[in-house]
């Protein structure tokens, strides 16, 4: 299935049904009178987050969603039928933005979460509604109220615990394929990953976390260079960032600083997230090179650097345990803050 994380669609709720002007005229009823019923309510536009979707590809082929108009009223005080709501199913993590692409209308970040974006119009009153002691035969009835309409943007931000960031060819796809059942494209040229990949890492029956691999970043990505920062939104919800650096490339400090600069320029709180730094491709370095580059990176970042090789699995189990412990602690703090 093709991955699509942005889509622009048009939604319109249904108009309310019209009220009617009607009078009762029956042979054996002594007094007649107004009996025009009210119109029914128009259909709503509702968005619902469902767990079995992970892309917005369906909205590439269907961009217009319209709810039906409510039924018109009828004589004998009969109210028109209310129109059914149109329920639009979207992946968990979908944000609904206004047409300006800046105003957030709703954030469907939990499975089953629903939002009524456009309310259907109310039905118009029939003439029976205007009957009074001084107006015995009203001939007034109202049209139904119009529904709401708008153009909106849907933006998907994947729900993951760990965001995998780094320069192109840092070994992110290889790492993801080793630690999970995901099968991303792996090749010896930059930008083999063209869209985000998700993988579930399971350490035990009760311990697991979701890791998101996004396309590699290069200098100037926040200005649109390369693939830009379009996909960085997919790691905004992560608890931890795993920064993978190609140790065999040599310029490990420059690579780390480049990614940190892009995260800071992007914003969204990414630069403030806890970061685990892993120096990858240890199998392609001599012990002296690995030790020197690790020390240089620790001095520049002020944090501990983990030495791993995704290809040979060296240091990977210990790294996964560190990640699991941090994710568990951060998620627990989030739950405690909401309690």
98 is in an annotated binding site: no
pLDDT beyond 90 at 186: no
CATH number at residue 263: 3.40.50.300
280 is in an annotated binding site: yes
250 is in an annotated binding site: no
309 is in an annotated binding site: yes
132 is in an annotated binding site: no
226 shares a domain with 145 = no
64 is in an annotated binding site: no
186 shares a domain with 77 = no
Would you say 14 and 121 are in contact if contact means Cβ atoms under 8 Å apart?
Answer: yes
Exposed e or buried b for every residue in 227-239, given b needs 16+ CB within 10 A?
Answer: bbbbbbbbbbbbb
152 shares a domain with 181 = no
Gap between the Cα atoms of 184 and 102, Å rounded: 32
Tokens 């109210």 — which residue?
Answer: 79
Gap between the Cα atoms of 244 and 307, Å rounded: 10
Classify residue 119: in a domain, yes or no: yes
Specify the pLDDT at position 187: 47
185 is in an annotated binding site: no
129 is in an annotated binding site: no
Gap between the Cα atoms of 160 and 210, Å rounded: 5
Domain end position, chosen among 115, 135, 156 = 156
159 is in an annotated binding site: no
Gap between the Cα atoms of 306 and 278, Å rounded: 5
> Average per-residue pLDDT in the chain?
84
Between the ranges 26-30, 87-91, 181-185, 252-256, where is the mean pLDDT highest?
Answer: 87-91
132 shares a domain with 17 = yes
CA 129 to chain CA mean position, Å: 45
182 shares a domain with 254 = yes
163 is in an annotated binding site: no
Nearest of 44, 19, 10 to residue 147 by alpha carbon: 44
169 shares a domain with 79 = no
282 shares a domain with 222 = yes
64 shares a domain with 13 = yes
Domain interval for residue 170:
162-338
For 83-130, the pLDDT digits (tens) are 999 999 998 889 999 999 889 999 998 889 999 999 999 999 999 999
239 shares a domain with 125 = no
194 is in an annotated binding site: yes
Domain end position, chosen among 91, 122, 156 = 156
Classify residue 224: in a domain, yes or no: yes
In this prediction, residue 212 has a pLDDT band, given cuts at 50, 70 and 90, of confident
Specify the pLDDT at position 1: 45
173 shares a domain with 152 = no
142 shares a domain with 10 = yes
Go through the chain and tell me how many residues it has.
339
CATH number at residue 139: 2.70.210.12
Gap between the Cα atoms of 36 and 20, Å rounded: 5
Exposed e or buried b for every residue in 148-180, given b needs 16+ CB within 10 A?
Answer: beeebbbbbbbbbbbbbbbbbbbbbbbbbbbbb
Specify the pLDDT at position 223: 53
For 150-171, the pLDDT digits (tens) are 999 998 887 778 888 888 877 8
The per-residue DSSP string of 278-309 comes to EEE-GGGS-HHHHHHHHHHHHHHHSS-EEE-B
293 shares a domain with 216 = yes
Count how many domains the chain has.
2
Q: What six digits make up the tokens of 137?
A: 């035969």
Specify the pLDDT at position 216: 60
Would you say 195 and 3 are in contact if contact means Cβ atoms under 8 Å apart?
Answer: yes
282 is in an annotated binding site: yes
Classify residue 1: in a domain, yes or no: no
In this prediction, residue 3 has a pLDDT band, given cuts at 50, 70 and 90, of low
């Amino acid at each position: 299935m093709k991955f699509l994380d942005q889509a622009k669609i048009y939604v319109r709720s249904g108009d309310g049904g019209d009220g009617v002007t009607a009078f009762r005229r029956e042979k054996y009823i002594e007094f007649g009178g107004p009996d025009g019923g009210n119109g029914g309510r128009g259909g709503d536009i509702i968005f619902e987050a469902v767990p079995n979707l992970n892309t917005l590809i369906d909205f590439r082929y269907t961009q217009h969603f319209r709810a039906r108009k409510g039924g018109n009223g009828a004589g004998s005080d009969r109210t028109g039928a209310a129109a059914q709501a149109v329920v639009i199913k979207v992946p968990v993590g979908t944000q609904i933005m206004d047409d300006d692409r800046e105003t957030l209308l709703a954030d469907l970040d939990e499975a089953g979460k629903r939002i009524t974006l456009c309310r259907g119009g109310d039905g118009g009153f029939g003439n029976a509604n205007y009957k009074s002691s001084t107006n015995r035969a009203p001939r007034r009835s109202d049209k139904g109220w119009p529904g709401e309409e708008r153009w909106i943007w849907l933006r998907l931000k994947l729900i993951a615990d760990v965001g995998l960031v780094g320069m192109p060819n840092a070994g992110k796809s290889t790492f993801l394929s080793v630690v999970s059942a995901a099968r991303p494209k792996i090749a010896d040229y930059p930008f083999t990953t063209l869209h985000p990949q998700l993988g579930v890492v399971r350490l035990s029956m009760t311990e697991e976390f979701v890791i998101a691999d996004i396309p590699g970043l290069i200098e100037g990505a926040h200005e649109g260079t390369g693939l830009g920062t379009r996909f960085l939104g997919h790691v905004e919800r992560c608890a931890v960032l795993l920064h993978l650096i190609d140790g065999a490339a040599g310029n490990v400090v420059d690579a780390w600083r480049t990614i940190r600069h892009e995260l800071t320029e992007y914003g969204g709180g990414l630069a403030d997230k806890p970061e685990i730094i892993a120096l990858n491709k240890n199998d392609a370095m001599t012990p002296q090179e690995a030790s020197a580059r690790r020390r240089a990176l620790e001095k520049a970042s002020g944090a501990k650097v983990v030495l791993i090789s995704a290809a040979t699995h060296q240091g990977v189990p210990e790294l996964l345990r560190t990640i699991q412990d941090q994710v568990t602690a951060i998620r627990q703090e989030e739950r405690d803050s909401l309690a």
